[in-house]
Amino acid sequence: MAVVFEKPKALANVPLHYCPGCTHGIAHRLVAQALDALDCADNTIGVAPVGCAVFAYDYFNCDMQEAAHGRAPAVATGIKRVCPESVVFTYQGDGDLAAIGLAEITSAAMRGENITVIFINNAIYGMTGGQMAPTTLVGQKATTAPYGRQLVGQGSPIRVSEMIATLDGATYVERVSLHDAANVNRAKRAVEKAFRRQIEKKGFSMVEILSTCPTNWGLSPVEALNYIIKEQMLPVYPLGVLKEE
């Protein structure tokens, strides 16, 4: 009997703790599929963030380090400098990467560290209970923006991928989304490409993945995919390759 579907080998055989409908599970799967496709899990060191993906060190079948909030790119830099022939990746959310860790991600990209960054943008802090993120949309409600994010005083969302793409050290930056099957497939190709480019020593690569947070958005999973990502996020965070050299 032909196997038509199976769990990626690089994904650990443990139940994930994510909320129903959260797209972290899909994003994890894409990373694991890439490690399988490139047959490099036994030579990979991942760096987990602080945020919803804090337990990611238990979910991948490879060596992992757990970083302090926002510092994953610095930790990855240290690992990569010791193990230049290993595959090193960070998996970070938007609070981690775009707020407290903005200096670390920017500087790692500036240095052209040959690492892969998986950036999950769901426009909110999930783990701590739905606070406003730098990526939160104008008008979007959060527990620390109960009247919706205000342009005056709270500003408009930061587009990290566009910013990182301006740096010479970043050689591949793409924004993808997980809101439907076609886009998941595009995301899969982007993630795999980001890892492949690292193996080919092409320098810093980052894939921004637009994701959902049904729990903190207060929506059903399907509404989250259709309403927020498709209708609200895509106009602010256009998909596509921002840079490929």
Partner 1 sequence: MAKVLMKGNEAIAEAAITAGCRHYFGYPITPQNEIPEYMARRMPQVNGTFVQAESEIAAINMVYGAAGAGARVMTSSSSPGISLKQEGLSYIAGAEIPCVVVNMVRGGPGLGSIQPAQSDYYQATRGGGHGDYRMIVLTPASVQEAVEMTVQAFDLADKYRMTVMLLGDGMIGQIMEPVDLDAVKTLMAPAVEKPWATTGMKNHPGRNVVNSLYIQPDVLEKVNERLEAKYREVEREVAAHEEMMMEDAQIVLAAFGTTARICKSAVRMARAKGIKAGLIRPKTVWPFPYAAFEKAAEQAQSILCVEMNMGQMIDDVRIAAAGRCPVSFYGRSGGMVPTPEEIVAAIEKAVK
Q: Is 10 helix (H, G, I), strand (E, B) or coil?
A: coil
Q: Which of residues 96-115 bind partner 1 (CB under 8 A)?
A: 103-104, 106-107, 111
Distances (CA, A) of 5 to 2, 29, 93: 9, 12, 28
Tell which one of 16, 37, 68, 99 touches partner 1 (CB under 8 A).
68
Q: Is 29 helix (H, G, I), strand (E, B) or coil?
A: helix
Give the residue carrying structure tokens 């990182």. Answer: 164
The alpha-carbon radius of gyration of the chain (Å, integer) is 17
Cβ distance to partner 1 smaller for residue 12 or 213: 12
Give the residue carrying structure tokens 């959060």. Answer: 142
Does residue 57 interact with partner 1 by CB under 8 A?
yes
Does residue 77 interact with partner 1 by CB under 8 A?
yes
Does residue 63 interact with partner 1 by CB under 8 A?
yes
Does residue 154 interact with partner 1 by CB under 8 A?
no
Closest distance of CB 99 from partner 1, Å? 14
Instruction: Count the residues in the chain.
Output: 245
Cβ distance to partner 1 smaller for residue 141 or 196: 196
Q: Which one, of 202, 137, 204, 133, lies nearest residue 173 by Cα? A: 204
Does residue 16 interact with partner 1 by CB under 8 A?
no
Q: What letter would DSSP give residue 110? A: H
Closest distance of CB 104 from partner 1, Å? 5
Residues of this chain that bind partner 1 (CB under 8 A): 41-45, 47, 54-55, 57-58, 61-68, 71, 74-83, 86, 103-104, 106-107, 111
